Amino acid sequence: MGRPPCCDKVGIKKGPWTPEEDIILVSYIQEHGPGNWRSVPTNTGLLRCSKSCRLRWTNYLRPGIRRGNFTSHEEGMIVHLQALLGNKWAAIASYLPQRTDNDIKNYWNTHLKKKLKNKLQSPSPSPSSAPSSEVQHVDSSSFMSFNTITPTATTTAPLPSAVATSSSSTTTTTTTTSYASSTENISRLLEGWMKASNGGGSRLAAAVESPHNYLSKLNINNNNNSMADFGNGFTTGGDVLTTAKPPKVEVDQQQDSDHGDHDHDDMDLIGNDEELESMLGFEDLNGDQSNHISSSNNNDDDGEMKDKYSRKVDHEKMKQQQQQANPPLSFLEKWLVEGGGDMEMSSIF
């Protein structure tokens, strides 16, 4: 007599999520909000365990998640926090609001543990010994954003828009445009789409009834901006939807941003943003914090950028005030004040 399973395993689907399932889940959450996971499979018709739904949302579909390489700054934070807190990944993740506990845990197990082990085995490597590809410069904006971060309940509350911005903290990164990474835009797309009109409920029903038709309806853009622009074989042209991953693509994000290149940046998977937003009836999805990823990556309007920047600075000031009332871990503060924020990983490992 063991513990009963969390859900009836008969008829429960396992394995990777498909785009159809994601859209159904996201559209449901857009309508009802996250929570009450038990009812999600029932109400959506998804053949998934409630936990699986929660996990999928928390780790991949939730807005504001940043994917891809960890910066040296993030690595440093993880190392320090792990030393302080142990394997409390959720707690550590609360200091890295753009990262999920699962991501951090994986990164620790696959990269950092190895690095630390190597470090212990060779106690005095020169700072220059770290592979250059793993040492990434952390600019001041990255520093600033961390310096004002206080722990957040990443798994239970929507993220503040400000923390969801940008990839500007790295100069170069390797982006895997996997299906999972592209799902960020599904929620974004759906958010705007559902805002644009009042028919959310009926759309959900349609999605559940016929995911393919549902996707086709979403594909309201022209051929150049089809759902394939979500990346990686996410197409609606035929009946075949696939989660096949494309090869990794090197992306210079600075260049990408400067030139409005839409090819493979996981933060910029929609083709013509303005056109698409116009067609979808997007408002500023992120309110006053301007976390419009496509805009932030692709915006040629200096005035708007400055405006967004000043709002961000205001927000940071506000957070600093909050921070004074609720200070973060002192050692981290010290680490940052003393320049740890700009420390390269080579000085840690």
Partner DNA sequence: AAAGTTCTCAACCGCCCGCGG
Partner DNA sequence: TCCGCGGGCGGTTGAGAACTT
Inter-residue contact 143 to 73 (CB < 8 Å):
yes
Compare residues 180 and 204 and give the one whose CB is closer to DNA. 180
Q: Which is nearer to DNA, 37 or 193 (CB)?
A: 37
Whole-number minimum distance, CB 308 to DNA, in Å? Answer: 29
32, 79, 62: which is closest to 161 by C-alpha? 62
Instruction: Give whichever of 155 and 253 is closer to DNA, judged by the CB atom.
Output: 155
For residue 87, the minimal CB distance to DNA (Å) is 4
* Identity at 112, one-letter amino acid code: L
Q: Which is nearer to DNA, 7 or 144 (CB)?
A: 7
Nearer to DNA, 107 or 282 (CB): 107
In terms of Cβ atoms closer than 10 Å to its own Cβ (0-12, 13-18, 19+), residue 86 is exposed
Query: Measured from the CB of residue 156, what is the shortest distance to DNA in angstroms?
Result: 4
- The tokens describing 23, both together, are 């859209």
Nearer to DNA, 36 or 222 (CB): 36
Q: Which residues bind DNA (CB under 7 A)?
A: 2-3, 5-6, 13-17, 35-38, 48-52, 54-56, 58-60, 67, 87-91, 101-103, 105-107, 109-111, 155-156, 176, 178, 180-181, 244-245, 247-248
Least distance in angstroms from the C-beta of 214 to DNA:
19
The span from the CA of 44 to the CA of 52, in Å, is 13
**How far apart, in whole angstroms, are the C-alpha atoms of residue 335 and residue 77?**
10
284 has which bridge partners?
none
Q: How far is CA 198 from the centre of its chain?
A: 27
* CB 348 to DNA: min, Å: 18
Q: For the range 316-321, what are the long-range contacts, defined as Cβ-Cβ under 8 Å and sequence gap of 24 or more? A: 316/144, 316/145, 316/148, 316/162, 319/148, 319/149, 319/150, 320/148
Residue 110 CB, nearest approach to DNA (Å): 4
Angle among Cα 97, 102, 103 to the nearest 5 degrees reads: 65
Tell me which residue of 19, 155, 144 sits closest to 99, measured CA to CA.
155
Token digits for 148?
């004002």
3/126 with CB nearer DNA: 3
Q: Cβ of residue 327: shortest distance to DNA, in angstroms?
A: 21
